[in-house]
Structure 1
Amino acid sequence: MNRNPGVPSMREVPATARRRTAGAAMAATLAITCVSLAVTACQTAEAPAQASTAGQSPGEVVFPATNRPDVRGVTAAVSAGHPLAAAAGHEVLRRGGNAIDATIAMAGVLAVVRPHMNGVGGDAFMIYYEAESGRVYAMNGSGRAGALATPALFAERELDRMPGNGPLSVSVPGAVAAWVDALDRFGTRQMAELLEPAIGYARDGFPVSTRLASDIAGSSRSLNDHARALYLPGGAPPPVGSLLKNRALATTLERIARDGRDGFYTGFVADRIGAFLEAEGGYLRAPDLAEHTTTWVEPLRGDYEDHTMLVMPPNTQGIAQLQLFEMAKSFDMKELGHNSAGYLHTLIEMKKLAFADRDQWAADPEFSDIPLDRLLDPEYLARRAGMVDAGSAAESRAAGVGTEMAAGGGGSADDSGDTVYLTAVDQWGNAVSWIQSLFAGFGSGLLEPETGIVLHNRGALFNLQAGHPNIIAPGKRPYHTLSPMMALRGDGSFAFTLGTPGGDSQPQSLIQIVNNMVLFGMTPQAAIEAPRFRSYNGLGVAFEDRVGASVLGKLGALGHQVEIVHGWTATFGGAHMILRDRDGTLTAASDPRREAYAIAY
């Protein structure tokens, strides 16, 4: 029911409806009013985005109410996409492990307990701050297309777009190599110790949550028979509270714990993946896995509000993130007012400009000369910001650098977001911002039965258009939505980690959260919980209902096709953050929109 009759371009969507109506593979999620946590008492889900100043003394700071407390500590902190993962990371830190050790333990658990969103069959990226040296390292753990993956292969099958799932959407999974390489370079513990909790949950089972049962139901259409047998026994998700086991995956994790990289990329596991995908009609083979390598890269940097923002370079959408921050400097965002119609309109219109450049240029830099200097040039981005029309929403924007390719030929991340983010800061001040994913819900929909591995569909984001920088080619990495972030202070010291699942919504959510903190003075938890928008292709924009009817009416009048989403849903991501104050206090925050959980001590 539309509560605002007469307001143009506005419709309401129940919390569970957005992905069903969009037809995406990602799960339809239930609205969250409260998440039962051992460390917090729930408050009302209608907490205001901004504090009221009524009755406020001059100079007094009143913070927004939150569903969860700010989790603070003085030694170390973690935040991850599931309580069991956060607990595993916390335990590693308590036993003297460092941030990398804790991250690998959490990543392993998440691969088991969030099986539709991430796993050993997916990819991973990391940004790492080394406290002793003050240096920042970035790791690209995305996989490549196989040797048989040529445009001609798809033309022979009469395909003009990349398939969204199935065997032709599977590129080499890079997550396991990322675990191994991060641990070898910066960790202090053995892989066998760190994967022990994950192996236990896979072998002996973990309790199915309401969220997981709902997510499985919403992602069920693309599953092969092997995945259905495990995740839809009897045709329905496992009962809430029952133990979900994947003993084949436990054995695979034991191989990785014992043999490291070789336990996945050569031998039994690689042979099984290669043979399985060949039988299914895919292009990936065992030798493609054996040739995979992780790449250490320099993070991209951009200055914003007395911070240096660090993101991943292409093949990720990190360039769009930095473009958003730079374009925002052309406006007095604080003066516009938090979540006012003018403020939201400006962010949405900047997003369209940034995404036009992203869609043109986010590709594997080993195959294309990507003009980063031009794309991130402040003068260029000031001109782009000048294209924002304060009185009207633009339906589309063209890339500002190079010749824009015609639409079509590539997959879409517009409504995907089956990803997990995790972060850790240790007692020495080292910090990790890590993200890993299957891309869509259950990725390709293919589970290889002898290994228990769900294979991702990241290859769906390749393009089939001749001449496009992101066109598929053997040994090439696809465009990637995964976009972890880190911020440093002006003196180069660590400030905060931040990241979220959400596909295309990641850069949109992150600038909203950062602005909530650095412009509007919110705490990390309040910044994450404040109502958000998610802009889609064209004029469509989803808003959380807490934005308010008056503001949404004004946005509809500007030409935005307003979609009101009720409750707390995964449509808007599931953010995590760890902030280190100048006095050393750590504040960890987690998003009630998903199963996120934070611990600090």
Structure 2
Amino acid sequence: MRDFHLPGRSATYATNGMCATSHPLAAKTAIDILERGGNAVDAAIAGAVLLGICEPQMTGIGGDCFVLFNTPGDQTVHALNGSGRAPAAASAAALRAEGHDVIPLRSAHAVTVPGAIDAFCQLSADHGKLGLDALLDPAIRYAEEGVPVAPRVAFDWPTAGQALQAHGRAHFMPTGSAPRVGDMFRAPGQAEVLRRVARDGRAAFYEGEVAEDILAALNALGGVHQAQDFAAQRCDYTTPVSGDYKGANLVEHPPNGQGATAILLLNILKHFDIAGMDPMGAERLHIEAEATKLAYDARNRFIADPDHTARLDHMLSAETATRLAALIDPNRAMEAASPLSEQVHRDTVYITVVDKDRMSVSLIYSIFHGFGSGIASEKFGVLLQNRGAGFTLEEGHPNELGAGKRPMHTIIPGMLSEGGRVTMPFGVMGGSYQSTGHARMVSNLRDFGMDVQTAIDAPRAFADHTGLKVERGFAPEVAQALTDLGHTVYDPPEAIGGAQAIYIHDNGVLEGGSDPRKDGCALGY
């Protein structure tokens, strides 16, 4: 139990249903849908779409999503890949010929076809109870009437807003400056798009006037996207990957998501007595950092479009983890990991819902960087992701940009199952950090017996090619000890990621946790 003398928040407890996400209005909307008779899929879709209005720097209908879920009475976890593809005319060779080493972040070349709307429509049709009109109505209303800008959103907007260009600035910074806390943000163009999708389904987005508006913006900036690229976009149901860590089975979305990296990381950590270390000490952070470098190096080599990921079994094998663990020196940091194949970013939203029938949904939804590509369509203000920056231009690499390919994705929903029962849908945002965040969350729970909220609140560190980011929640001597081990330690200007989770206890009680690093909460009824 937490010390009530100190700042913090308690977990949320309920029995009928629960939502945990990064904005209170989205959590409230999800609970409203449950109380109206909707299920977890309905509630997650309604909340997720609204997050695009509440946190437009993080996500929106011009982005992608990944989903893990189980159905009532069945503990099998299913995966839905709602990520978009590069246009048929995309060419890494053409960009290399123009002198590019990486895909320009804020260019039309970084824009892949948005996959989220198609996924929401498919998921609703296959597994929802209420129609799209009911699910999209809250977001339509808030987009028209406006939402007050929350503190974390206001904090992000000035920096992320620098990416906005042309129509993007007109729709998201119409006054020329970033909104402040409590200012109203409205998106009437997106309200109209959602109204059409509610009436006519996915075709209203991927064909006709909305698609033409998006294509005009992209083609004007040199994009090679065509109408058939949008019309052909389809999500896919697929089979999750999983791995055991001390009795907890971590279930992850398969490639092109990076979820397998979290499993590999935990497989490496099994070779060390993590539970015998100080959970806030330098020894644990050092081992975790070294394991992260090795796991992410494997990620950058192997994970790509599902049709181009050839060595997933090797990445997840116990033998691979054993060999990698042997490379870790407990007394000295290794060289920094190779530069990541995707650009550094931190912008994602996550929502999890559990309903009265114990259907669980773990859904993550993003436009990649802050305000994505910065490119928005003129009439409707659909802001487009720059997820194509997750491709590499290295010739012959599995993740090389190519026609109709999906890039390696950093966003990953997670689930835990124990004893054959789904026990915790969860997600940890924060761009590349997410795989490390999943592993740390599981380790906090299993190695140190933390409850859900404590596991989320605990300070974080992350090793990438720039050094070892260490949040201020650690004691000063920890940073010095890590420096003495050879790490380049620095204090990140922003907190590392955010997380939400719902733990399903044996007695049916739901325990929800939500990260104070974000504006959100866990709500139940």
TM-score, scaled relative to structure 2: 0.97
How far did residue 104 of structure 1 move? Answer: 0.7
Q: How many residues align?
A: 525
Partner residue, 2:417 = 488
Match 1:515 to one of 439, 443, 467: 443
Q: Give distance in 1, aligned partners of 2:304 and 2:504.
A: 33
The aligned counterpart of 1:19 is none
* Post-superposition offset of 1:551: 1.7
Equivalent residue of 1:160, what SS? coil
Q: Confirm or deny: 8 A CA contact 2:482 2:489 kept in the other structure.
A: yes
Aligned-residue offset at 1:291: 0.5
Residue 420 of structure 1 contacts residue 500 of structure 1 at CA under 8 Å; is this kept in 2?
no
Matches within 5 A, 1:152-167: 152-167=93-108
Which of 216, 220, 234 matches 2:175? Answer: 234
What is the aligned partner in structure 2 of residue 18 from structure 1? none
Q: Which residue of 2 aligns with 1:246?
A: 187
Give the CA deviation at 1:66: 5.9
1:461 aligns with 2:401: no
Letter in 2 for 1:375: M
Task: Structure 1: state its 5+ residue gaps.
Answer: 1-49, 52-61, 399-406
| Post-superposition offset of 1:289 | 0.6
Larger deviation: 183-192 or 271-280?
Answer: 271-280
Runs of 4+ with deviation above 6 angstroms: none
* Shift, 1:559, TM fit: 0.6
8 Å contact from structure 1 (residues 163, 411) kept in 2: no
Corresponding residue number in structure 1 for 2:295: 354
Indicate conservation of the 8 Å contact 2:217/2:376, yes or no. no
Of 171, 175, 184, which residue of structure 1 is paired with 2:116? 175
**CA separation in 2, counterparts of 1:281 and 1:79?**
40
Post-superposition shift, 1:344?
A: 0.8
Q: Tell me the secondary structure at the aligned position of residue 455 of structure 1.
A: coil
Alignment partner, residue 47 of structure 2: 106
Q: Residues 26-41 of structure 1: matches in 2 within 5 Å?
A: none
Q: What is the DSSP-based 3-state SS (H/G/I as helix, E as strand, rest coil) of the residue aligned with 1:235?
A: coil
Task: Using the TM superposition, give the Cα deviation of residue 319 of structure 1 relative to its aligned residue in structure 2, in angstroms.
Answer: 1.4
Q: Deviations over 1:221-271 (max 9, x none)?
A: 221122222332332122432321111111011111111111111111111
Residues 1:83 and 2:48 aligned together = no
Name the aligned partner's letter for residue 514 of structure 2.
S
Deviation digits for residues 89-129 of structure 1, max 9, x if unmatched?
01011122110000011011111111111011000000002
CA contact (8 A) 1:486 1:497 kept: yes
* Cross-structure match for 2:426: 498
Equivalent in the alignment of 1:208 = 149
2:271 paired residue among 317, 330, 352: 330
3-state SS in 1 of match to 2:70:
strand
With normalisation by structure 1, the TM-score equals 0.85
Whether contact under 8 Å (2:171, 2:381) holds in the other structure is: no
| DSSP 3-state at the match of 1:439 | coil
Q: Per-residue displacement from partner, 1:23-48 (whole Å, max 9, x unpaired)?
A: xxxxxxxxxxxxxxxxxxxxxxxxxx
Q: CA deviation at 1:131?
A: 3.2
Which of 164, 169, 174 is the matching residue for 1:223?
A: 164
Q: Given the superposition, is the C-alpha separation of residues 438 and 64 from structure 1 closer, same or farther in structure 2, using an over 3 Å criterion?
A: farther
1:128-207 equivalences in 2 (<5 Å): 128-207=69-148
Distance 1:86 1:361, change over 3 A: same
Q: Are the equivalent residues in 2 in contact too, given 1:252–1:452 (CA < 8 A)?
A: no
**Match of 1:302, SS?**
strand
Q: How does 1:258-277 map to 2 (within 5 A)?
A: 258-277=199-218
The answer for the alignment partner of 1:418 in structure 2 is 347
Q: Does 1:390 align with 2:330?
A: yes
| Shift of residue 534, structure 1, vs aligned partner | 1.9
- 8 A contact 2:302–2:309 mirrored in 1: no
1:3 is matched with none
Which whole-Å deviations, capped at 9, do the CAs of 1:288-311 have from their partners, x for residues lacking one?
A: 010011011100010111111100
Task: Indicate which of 228, 246, 264 corresponds to 1:287.
Answer: 228
8 Å CA contact retained: 1:162, 1:411:
no
Can you list the C-alpha shifts for 1:341-395, whole angstroms capped at 9, x where unaligned?
Answer: 11110000000000000000110121x2521221111122112111110010011
**3-state SS of 1:504 partner:** helix
Q: CA deviation at 1:65?
A: 5.8
Residue in structure 1 matching 2:501, options 569, 577, 588: 577
Q: Residues 125-154 of structure 1, C-alpha deviation per residue, up to 9 Å, x if partnerless?
A: 000022312221001110000011012331
Equivalent residue in structure 2 for 1:554, among 445, 468, 481: 481
The CA distance in 2 between the partners of 1:479 and 1:63, in whole Å, is 43
After superposition, give the CA deviation of every residue in 1:156-201 in whole Å (9 maximum; x if it has no partner): 4332211112211100000001101111111101001011110001
1:591 aligns with 2:515: yes
Change (3 A) 1:188 1:350: same
> Per the alignment, do residues 65 and 309 of structure 1 end up closer, same or farther by CA in structure 2, a change over 3 Å counting?
farther
Partners of 1:426 and 1:230 in 2: CA distance: 36
Is the contact made by 1:277 and 1:285 (CA closer than 8 Å) also made in structure 2?
no
Instruction: Identify the range of structure 1 (223-232 vs 321-330) with the bigger mean alpha-carbon deviation.
Output: 223-232
CA distance in 2, matches of 1:74, 1:460: 42
CA 1:310 to 1:197, structure 2 compared with 1: closer, same or farther past 3 Å?
same
SS across alignment from 2:379: coil
* Higher alpha-carbon deviation: 81-90 or 203-212: 203-212
Aligned counterpart, 1:404: none
2:398 alignment partner, SS class = coil
Cα RMSD for the two superposed structures: 1.7
C-alpha displacement of 1:514: 1.8
Cα drift, residue 458 of structure 1: 0.1
Instruction: Quote the residue 1:317 is aligned against.
Output: 258
Q: Where in structure 2 are there 5+ consecutive unaligned residues?
A: none
Q: 2:317 maps to what in 1?
A: 377
Shift of 1:64: 11
* 1:63 CA displacement: 10
